[in-house]
Amino acid sequence: MSFVERVVFDTSTLISAVLRPSSVPRQAFVKALSQAELCASPSTLAELESVLARSKFDRYLDPALRLGFFQLYRRHVRLFPVSEAEEGALPEPCRDSRDNKFLALALTCSADFVVSSDEDLLTLNPYRRIPVMLTRDYLER
């Protein structure tokens, strides 16, 4: 039996991946899609869907294509039930409480990596022994 790494992507990294097709975040996403188990929770999915629907992104990419990315992502993630209570009761919460959902998910799914472009998450590296890394670092490993 082979070991498959579990990876959590934060929303800002996924937004970069969908809006910039030749970007490092897109390359990291494609790598994870083919080599790892992508992990999400109901709240991380809801945030991604909500952010992708923002009209400010219309000038970069058609809303239907953004929705298509979300549906692709949703089909390929493994969903882990993480409650708001768990998000609020972290041993070392993030300085931006909106990012706690990614930390709670990483703990719940026993993630091998959190891939992020958010300084509030990156400053926690490692978080409870889970590496929190930039997309380029994920690609290079």
Positive or negative torsion for Cα 50, 8, 101, 121: negative
- Beta carbons of 66 and 18 less than 8 angstroms apart: yes
Q: Which of 109, 112, 107, 137 is nearest to 122 (CA)?
A: 137
pTM, two decimal places: 0.92
Q: Which two tokens stand for residue 106?
A: 């990483």
User: Domain residues of the chain, as ranges?
Assistant: 6-140
Query: What angle separates helix 11-19 from helix 24-35, to the nearest 10 degrees?
Result: 110
> Is the domain defined by 6-140 classed in CATH 3.10.105.10?
no
Reduced to 3 states (helix: H, G, I; strand: E, B; else coil), residue 128 is: coil
Question: How would you write the pLDDT of the chain (141 residues) with one tens digit per residue?
Answer: 457 899 999 999 999 999 999 999 999 999 999 999 999 999 999 999 999 999 999 999 989 999 999 999 999 999 999 877 777 777 777 888 889 999 999 999 999 999 999 999 999 999 999 999 999 999 998
pLDDT at residue 141 in the model:
85
